Amino acid sequence: MADNTLKLEVITPEQVALRDESTSVVVPGVDGELGIWPNHAPLLAGLKPGVITYKTASGTQKLVVSGGFIEISNNVISVIAPAAEKASDIDFARAEAAKKRAEERLAQKNADIDIARAQAALARAKARLSVR
């Protein structure tokens, strides 16, 4: 690995969703976006649902994650996420329907609605739709 690159790994319970070399990575941290370049200080942080944007030799790439954690150490970025999807794998009609359902649930004043779950579903749907 060259001194000006980072090894990026995104791991889900089902698979290694991504393993690539990158010159820079931007992740959706729980407190805001985190920009990571080679020789970044060690870090452990939480992620919220959103888009990981990373630059490779072939251009800028995007990957949607549904939250998780990131660890940075020795030019290796490890992301552990419940789910990760490449833009080419996303069913945008299904994501739009999920967004609509979540918005409808949040608009209801019914006490039986799990607000946190509906908000999480809305965040995931918006993240998927943002890479369209």
**Looking at the domain that runs over 91-129, which CATH code has it been given?**
1.20.5.440
> Rounded to an integer, what distance in angstroms lies between the CA atom of residue 126 and that of residue 87?
13
pLDDT (tens digit, 9 = 90+) per residue, 69-105?
Answer: 999 999 999 999 999 998 888 889 999 999 999 998 8
**Domains 6-87 and 91-129 are alike in CATH topology:** no
The fold adopted by the segment(s) 6-87 is ATP Synthase; domain 1 (2.60.15)
- Going from N- to C-terminal start, the domains of the chain cover 6-87, 91-129
pLDDT (tens digit, 9 = 90+) per residue, 9-50?
Answer: 999 999 999 999 999 999 999 999 999 999 999 999 999 999
Q: The whole model's pTM is what?
A: 0.83
Give me the numbers of helices (H) and strands (E) for the chain, helices first please.
2, 8
Tell me what pLDDT residue 115 has: 84
pLDDT (tens digit, 9 = 90+) per residue, 105-131?
Answer: 888 877 678 888 888 889 889 998 988
Tell me what pLDDT residue 20 has: 95
> Rounded to an integer, what distance in angstroms lies between the CA atom of residue 131 and that of residue 104?
23
Tell me what pLDDT residue 12 has: 96
